[in-house]
Chain A
Amino acid sequence: MPDSGAGRLVLLILAAVFAFLYVPIAVLVGLSFNASGLPTAWTGFSTRWYAALLQNGEILGAARNTLIVAAASTAIATLLGTALAVGVELRRRRSRGIEALIFAPMIIPDIVLAIALLSFFSLLRIPMGLHTIVMAHVVFNLAFVCAVVRARLKSFDWSIVEASSDLGASLVTTWVRVVLPVIAPAIVAGALLAFTLSVDEFIIAFFTAGAGRASITLPMQVYAMIRFGVTPEINALATLVMGASLVALALAQRLNRRTLGA
């Protein structure tokens, strides 16, 4: 930048944007360690609100539900999504209909999918609970897994499959020994993404959970709590959830780098 006025403006914009993005989070994290728990005064560093969390049965139950939903939906979505990705890339001709079908879960507004599934389950009189949340989460999760795996398969050289059968390997051997190892990092990355999305998902879970406390997930619990205002416990919970997302992100990054490096 030859013009230092423009250079200063650039720095100003950056400072403003980063302040806007990080001040709210920083305040939240800071408050979670405030002994008084109130924003009015800093009364010293404390982890008592984290300890309180661990005593809270409702939160622990919700966290357990979330892990169940995320694990189940990730497992199903990874299986279906990977098969779908391989199937689509294997086809010689692209079908616009299939492409649209795969793309749709990523762009349909959550609220629309949520009410659609709610109407569907209730009109068919399917009792709702954790299993219906899982079924719903698989819908968008499999789309994301499929997208990640397809990105990897785009650069896949199909002639090595032919080379493998040419060398006498059976179809199954070829897949297990040749194709899977190549796309494995993408499958893991896709699964990680699906898990994260499922853990964070609120609206669809909220509509498909059915009545009662039994199938409340962590985001639903958080929503219920924050509707009643600010409490030190939510600050601590929020900080923990953000920390977990950060770890998941770092893991995904590492994996991605390894995939690209391979």
Chain B
Amino acid sequence: MRDRGSAFLMAPALAWLAGLMVVPCALVLALAFFRRGLYGGIDWTFTLENLALVFDPLYGGILLNSARIAGLVALIAAVAGYAAAFAIVSRPRHWQPVLLFLAVLPFWSNYLIRTYAWIVLLNREGLIVQAARWLGRDGALPQMLYTEGAVIAGLVYAYLPFVILACYAPLSRLPRDLAEASRDLGGSGFTTFRRITLPLTLPGLAVGAVFVFVLSVGNFVTPALLGGGQFQMVGTLVYAQFLTAGDWPFGAALAMVLMAVMMLLLVAQTWVAERGTGGRRDA
């Protein structure tokens, strides 16, 4: 009886998810295996050309470049976020929730607006240029907006709070006496960090870094706004296939590769997490 009631309650939502998520996603993945029609439509003949095209030097290069940028973003955000979380944890206990809240607060404001803030900061008449001028640095500064650097800064800015949050939890839960035990046994501060603190909090850091990578590699808003019209990443490429070039099958193939990379990373991250806790089981 309980299970029948349960099925009745779940049915509408599951139907919604099936109809508007599973079917469309399956459809778009299937599109990757068909030809592009002459006038933007779809020609229903099976082909692997689209997937091959993804790894063609031109598009493969964009894919690699996206991965490189996302990797850099994940690395910077991981280092800065971990350092920030570490700094928060080393403040007195009653300060920590306040600091954490402040660190995560920007995450709650609109993504477009957070990205826009960097346009305000980096444009030709932006604050950084003004500040440089005020400091007496005359002459033209190098272009800052519409560069790869701007995209990286924007992505780090967008996702840093996430990493801080992911690192804070394990750091604050780590018993203080473990680090003390290491010091007591002769470990320096750095050795203690490298051999005790870092390995025990690595799963949190891995979660943070992987999510930042995944969110960055397929990102479309930030490269479009901070990278300028010519700047291409996988996200902007997918966007272009669907909304301007009209090559849906190729766009679908790109999305498929993106999903595959994402899945792989999430699995790897789960693996790190399990290894980090040493497959903890009660004796």
Please say whether the chains A and B touch (CB closer than 8 A): yes
Report the contact-size class of chain A (Cβ under 8 Å from the partner): 35 or more
Task: Tell me which residues across on chain B come within 8 A of A3, comparing CB atoms.
Answer: 189
| Whole-angstrom CA separation of A10 from B36 in the bound complex | 56
- Taking the complex as formed, is A146 at the interface, i.e. its CB lies under 8 A from any CB of chain B? yes
Minimal beta-carbon separation of A50 from chain B (angstroms)? 15
Query: Contacts A10-B87, A24-B120, A245-B108 given: A92-B2 contact, CB under 8 Å?
Result: yes
| Whole-angstrom CA separation of A27 from B91 in the bound complex | 28
| Whole-angstrom CA separation of A4 from B22 in the bound complex | 56
- Taking the complex as formed, is B31 at the interface, i.e. its CB lies under 8 A from any CB of chain A? yes
| Whole-angstrom CA separation of A167 from B111 in the bound complex | 52
Task: Tell me which residues across on chain A come within 8 A of B239, comparing CB atoms.
Answer: 111
Chain B, 38-56, contact with A by CB distance < 8 Å: what is the 0/1 string?
0000100000000000000
Task: Tell me which residues across on chain B come within 8 A of A109, comparing CB atoms.
Answer: 214-215, 218, 258-259, 262
Task: Tell me which residues across on chain B come within 8 A of A136, comparing CB atoms.
Answer: 20
Contact status A115-B106, CB under 8 Å: no
Query: Contacts A22-B106, A219-B110 given: A27-B25 contact, CB under 8 Å?
Result: no
Report the contact-size class of chain B (Cβ under 8 Å from the partner): 35 or more
Chain A, 14-35, contact with B by CB distance < 8 Å: what is the 0/1 string?
1001101111110110010000
Query: Contacts A219-B112, A246-B108 given: A80-B214 contact, CB under 8 Å?
Result: no
Chain B, 6-21, contact with A by CB distance < 8 Å: what is the 0/1 string?
1111111110111011
Most chain A beta carbons < 10 A, residue from B12, B215, B258? B12
Contact status B21-A113, CB under 8 Å: yes
- The segment out of B121-129, B170-178, B197-205 that lies at the interface is B121-129
- Taking the complex as formed, is B138 at the interface, i.e. its CB lies under 8 A from any CB of chain A? no
Contact status B14-A98, CB under 8 Å: yes
- The segment out of A56-64, A116-124, A181-189, A254-262 that lies at the interface is A116-124
Contact status B20-A115, CB under 8 Å: no
Chain B's closest residue to A86 (CB) is B9
7 other A-B residue contacts (CB within 8 Å) besides A84-B12, A207-B242: A14-B88, A24-B117, A24-B121, A112-B28, A116-B28, A223-B221, A238-B110
A sample of 19 inter-chain contacts (CB < 8 A) reads: A6-B189, A10-B87, A14-B87, A17-B83, A20-B80, A21-B160, A22-B106, A24-B118, A27-B117, A84-B12, A87-B13, A88-B10, A90-B5, A91-B2, A109-B262, A115-B255, A223-B221, A226-B116, A226-B119
Taking beta carbons and an 8 Å cutoff, which residues of A are in contact with B? 1, 3, 6-7, 10-11, 13-14, 17-18, 20-25, 27-28, 31, 38-40, 80-81, 83-84, 86-88, 90-92, 98, 101-102, 104-105, 107-109, 111-113, 115-120, 123, 135-136, 138-139, 142-143, 146, 196, 200, 202-203, 207, 219, 222-223, 226-227, 229-230, 234-235, 238, 241-242, 245-246, 249
